[in-house]
Amino acid sequence: MRLDKYLTEMGMGSRSEVKLGIRKGFAKVNEKTVTRPEFKVSDKDSVLWKGTPVTYVEYEYIMLNKPAGVVSATEDSREKTVIELIQDRRRKDLFPVGRLDKDTEGLLLLTNDGKLAHKLLSPRHHVAKIYYAKVNGVMTEEDAALFAEGLYVDEELTALPAELKILKLHPEGTSEIQLKIFEGKFHQVKRMVQAVGKEVTYLKRLSMGSLVLDETLKPGEYRLLTTSELEELYAE
């Protein structure tokens, strides 16, 4: 791999910035200054950029507890994105696997592994997603039965059978629920709850496939996936 490509992919700057920096002597390979951007390196080489070691990582997998108020996008001219929350990312080509609404919290996987993203998002794989929601209105066992049958939501959506658990009913006429769905249509949870005459007031994703949100992560915090978490995702 070319040295400028190596450094660019590791987020050291744009291709043109990195090329200029290499020519200025900012890069060392195996303790020797290299001034040619096209110089060939491998992951076995020791690479320094401005005196700091740069280790090549082909793929990066980050679990984020997405906070409300940020959008699930790589860039946005008006809103803060989930990518901007990852201050120490190694790859500059990360993207969110799927999306959570701006006001929704919880599990979001960020990676640059397109193969895994396709596996998790492909409609034919029916990867389960579990959400916790607070609802304005009393959810009932009748609602659960409708969800289990495959709820007609509107002209654009008849949901696949889903599993509704009523966690708590409050005297003031609100509910807490857990909902397991097997697809990821636009505003799906909110639309399903609305279709039975109630309204979601808070929504948090708890899991996606085998990947479960680390509850030690506060909103806005993140960590790398463990080896076992990654292996389980690929095994699904």
DSSP for the chain? Answer: -BHHHHHHHTTSS-HHHHHHHHHTT-EEETTEE---TT-B--TTS-EEETTEE----S--EEEEEEPTT-BSSS--SSS-BSGGG-TT-S-S--EESS---TT-EEEEEEES-HHHHHHHH-GGG---EEEEEEEES---HHHHHHHHH--EEETTEEPPP-EEEEEEEETTTEEEEEEEESS--TTHHHHHHHHTT-EEEEEEEEEETTEE--TTSPTT-EEEPPHHHHHHHHH-
Concerning whether 101 is annotated as a catalytic residue, the answer is: yes
Q: Which of 45, 76, 93, 101 is catalytic?
A: 101
Q: Active-site residue numbers?
A: 101
